[in-house]
Structure 1
Amino acid sequence: MLPPDARMLASQNIVIILCGNKKDLDADREVTFLEASRFAQENELMFLETSALTGENVEEAFVQCARKILNKIESGELDPERMGSGIQYGDAALRQLRSPRRAQPQGTQECGC
């Protein structure tokens, strides 16, 4: 079981991702995908296997974290305006994210992140 320190010291809504690195060295693995996946699920963590050598899933780890954080902002679970939430807007132009996404007109494509 994961120590509760991060959630106790930061926020119950913290987004944590477990990255199993060195995916390219499958023959040398010490933890199976299933073991790591179960651990992540039991501890409410996101999970990806990555390879710094090949770059596989490295960017995806950041994209998934960002997407999850944005979803929590949109659902109201996280509030960048609240001190101690662990997140904040970096640029005034980004504050438009506060308002819920509006339906896109037919024919335009919305970013999936």
Structure 2
Amino acid sequence: MDGEGGTELLEAYDYLFKFIVIGEAGTGKSCLLYHCIHETFKEHSAHTIGVEFSSRTLRIGDKNIKLQLWDTAGQERFRSVTRSYYRGAAGALLVYDITSRQSFANLSRWLTDCRALASPHLVVVLVGNKLDKEEDREVEYVEGSRWAQENGLLFVEVSSLTGENVTTPFLLAARSILSSIDSGVLDPDTPNTGVSYAWHLEEVVDEGDGIV
């Protein structure tokens, strides 16, 4: 952000997609996001308070896709705050910790919330994090894959520590959304889709609403 005027410096991109990153506290959501953007592990990461905003531009085919990324807190006390940011999201990364059975068991609640509040065309990627801790695994790959398939989600396991596959969930969701645009299923001119053409956007990002 520009510290002088509070506006975002414009860059060349074709579409802007609103993404939310959700899941239980301690699953490594912020570290995953940080590694994807900065290509390095974030040391001494604290729990997110409320919601934090960041962005990254991806090249997919001949299109530049800018992702507006909302990293939400996993603690129950922030639930009423974070849920307000789900509105109009085009994509969601639903993160669990492969070493925590509890974080996997609670996925249904998060999925229900985001599907109720986000775009009707919401694309969700189930992300099993902490792949570097294979020896402590409590949730097998096949369990995550099966749950994703049963609920109509994309699926990948990642390590926000080593960087393995950290860009993959963002690419999977963005490609799926772009495919829906190209096929005419999703219209960026329609409100509350979480998708906008670059030239329809103002420089100022309203952090309360995101894309509407």
TM-score by length of 1: 0.73
Identity of aligned residues (%): 49
- 1:42-78 CA distance string (max 9 Å, x none): 0111110000111011011111111111001111221
Q: Answer yes or no: is the 8 Å Cα contact 1:7–1:13 preserved in 2.
A: no
TM-score by length of 2: 0.41
Q: Answer yes or no: is the 8 Å Cα contact 1:73–1:79 preserved in 2.
A: yes
Q: Answer yes or no: is the 8 Å Cα contact 2:127–2:155 preserved in 1.
A: yes
Relative to structure 1, the CA distance from residue 37 to residue 66 in structure 2 (aligned partners, 3 Å threshold; closer, same or farther) is same
Aligned residues: 92
Q: Which residue of 2 aligns with 1:58?
A: 166
Larger radius of gyration: 1
User: Residue 44 of structure 1 is aligned with which of 142, 148, 152?
Assistant: 152
Structure 1: stretches of 5+ with no match in the other structure: 94-113
Secondary structure of 2:156's aligned partner = strand
- Structure in which a larger fraction of residues adopt helix: 1
User: Residue 84 of structure 1 is aligned with which of 168, 192, 197?
Assistant: 192
Structure 2: stretches of 5+ with no match in the other structure: 1-106, 201-212
In the TM superposition, residue 10 of structure 1 has moved relative to its aligned partner by: 1.9
Q: Distance in 1 between matches of 2:182 and 2:194?
A: 15
- Structure in which a larger fraction of residues adopt strand: 2
Q: Answer yes or no: is the 8 Å Cα contact 1:22–1:53 preserved in 2.
A: yes
In the TM superposition, residue 20 of structure 1 has moved relative to its aligned partner by: 0.4
Q: Answer yes or no: is the 8 Å Cα contact 2:120–2:193 preserved in 1.
A: no
Q: How does 1:21-36 map to 2 (within 5 A)?
A: 21-36=129-144
Amino acid at match of 2:149: Q
Q: Distance in 1 between matches of 2:166 and 2:137?
A: 18
